Structure 1
Amino acid sequence: MIASLRAPLRHWTTVLPVLAVVLLGLTWGRSLPPPLVGVVAYFLAGAVLAAVHHAEVIAHRVGEPFGSLVLAVAVTVIEVALIVTLMVDGGEKSAALARDTVFAAVMITCNGIVGLSLLVGSLRRRVAVFNAEGTGAALATVATLAGLSLVLPTFTTTTPGPRFSTPQLVFAALAALVLYGLFVATQTVRHRDYFLPVTSSGEVIDTEEHADPPTARAALISLALLALALIAVVGLAKAVSPTIESGVAAAGLPSSVVGIVIALLVLLPETIAAVRAAHRDRVQTSLNLGLGSAMASIGLTIPAVALATVWLPGPLLLGLGASHMVLLALTVIVGTLTVVPGRATPLQGGVHLTLLAAYIVLAVSP
């Protein structure tokens, strides 16, 4: 019995997050030589896989859509802390960091995660099936939050540049919190059935039948290890960012590419979890992860940076440029047309992935 209890503690998904956090503490704030960068990258990849494992354990215990919500909020909270820390350390040169990071997260989640999930789900089952009511509500909330926080500042006239005045920023922050709170209440309480997985035959799945759910103790251990793994993912991504920055500079690429690479690393746990869910014919779970992450990124980041402006020395630039607004508009339009039928073919997945590719190409070659 004692051996059976000790065995999970020796599992790599238990040991690796702890070692990754220890490595993070040893390397934080230091310049890393190339061999150590390779070690950090190894533990970063391991922490990503461990985070996915523990997120799935929690999701199995609490069920959908709570499992997707736990992973999305956990990643976003740590990501927000990283953004605010970088903005405090970066001074005026980091004025657009929040905007660039949030927009990268929106494009990666709404086109990358959603596109991959639809492609995997439809290739495996011919047609990817999901609940149009729940997914449509999520997309509408993401579109509203993105429009209020990232598009509107470009057209306001009270202050020069693509930024809000103080009253406008307060309104945007409060609106983001209220809308995100309303969505979470809708997703988890009043209309939870709108966000449950639907099989290709149209059957709503409220419980997983393939295995007994883990115990409460096991779920709590996984929750703690998930937090450690996500801290390691974000922190180690920051640790390798100087190497990424030097590589980007050596290649003559714009500095915004660094933000995209870091965002891709930070969102890896959600991406892997979403693709695995789609492979199991749980496309709704994948969409909950993708759109929920986009919503959490805006709904938590904007209020956090609005509060941070109290002590930040420079301006806070939030408004997008013309090309990015076009990509955001296309994402919303294509997303709407994808969601309305409640069914998708590989074509819809390919269209979303093409929009993500266009965003990356324009970031590399503006």
Structure 2
Amino acid sequence: MHLCSNGRCLNSTKYKMAINHIDMSFNLEIFNVNNLDLKLPYICTCGIYKNKQHIAPPVRWSAKTDTIMLRETNSLICEYHSDVACPSNADKIWRYTNTDKMLCSNGSCFNEKYKMTFDNNTKTDGNAKISILVIKNFTEEDVREYTCSCKFVSFTKTLEVTNYINMPENLKSSAVYRDNQVIIEISTEKVFPILKCNETIFETLSLCHNSLFCNAHSSSEKKYIRQDMKVKQSYGTTVSNFTFYKVQGELIVDTNGITCSTIALEVKCFVGNRPFIVTVLTEIRCNDIETIGQYIPSASIGLVFIIIIVMICICCEFKMRRKPKHLLCKVKDLTYNKLCKCFNNGQGH
């Protein structure tokens, strides 16, 4: 396909051909360079002579990572490959292309959303110098054309986003106990891709503090459960060529008869390759016996028994004094005296 011939171009808005008749040289100028322009080979022909080359602009920029994180910080990296085209003391500028609005110049930015830094230690290609445009709280509106320039040399292209992650917005979670199961509800108003939850750390803290009143299922323990969250509802919407999902999911965990405990659950979820933790709490009520045990510390049980024995002995002594003694009570031996008191109390005479 011919782009230009003898100074005339088929697409004058994209290409321009200039001929220098003094030294018999000519050049091709390409506007709004994109990724496809950089990948294509270009053939220059003069008579029977041909020369094939790829574009190697002295200035070009690219996204720092292949995956764009929405609502987070992302960076664009501009590389200056020629000391002639871009001297160290030349002005280095980032701007919007369509509005020609300047964003940053020589490290100073005109909006707190942006930050411009330099990194001469990073060598991505030969001896390239690096300037970085940091874009904070990246949104759909930040997908646009950017121009990075040094002196009179500039490079313009549209930021192309094919891979992106939007962490859950308006994330809600809850847990309820029902029929020996904990039902965990997780929902979000906006996420991409769809979140997945498949691992739960299940930790119980017993509310029964007296072992005499507790059953075997009210002990404190910690265990791991692998179980995929069931997506109950999801639907997608498209905003500025970005797709987002609204998701409502449910995760059911068996409690295996646990009673009288607080249950803390940490659910491990993923959005793409980004993990995050959802923490929920619920409580399993104690039965009547376990409830009584909560108010009687284990250390007090022995004291309670001693008090009961003392009260019984006092009662026996009081009743014995009010009633005739049995024949055995005349025996002087201390052991018989004790038996006598109990006997009198039991016989009623």
TM-score normalised by the chain length of structure 1: 0.17
TM-score normalised by the chain length of structure 2: 0.17
Q: Higher Cα Rg: structure 1 or 2? A: 2
More strand by share: 2
State the structure with bigger RCO (CA 8 A, min sep 6), 1 or 2: 1
More helix by share: 1
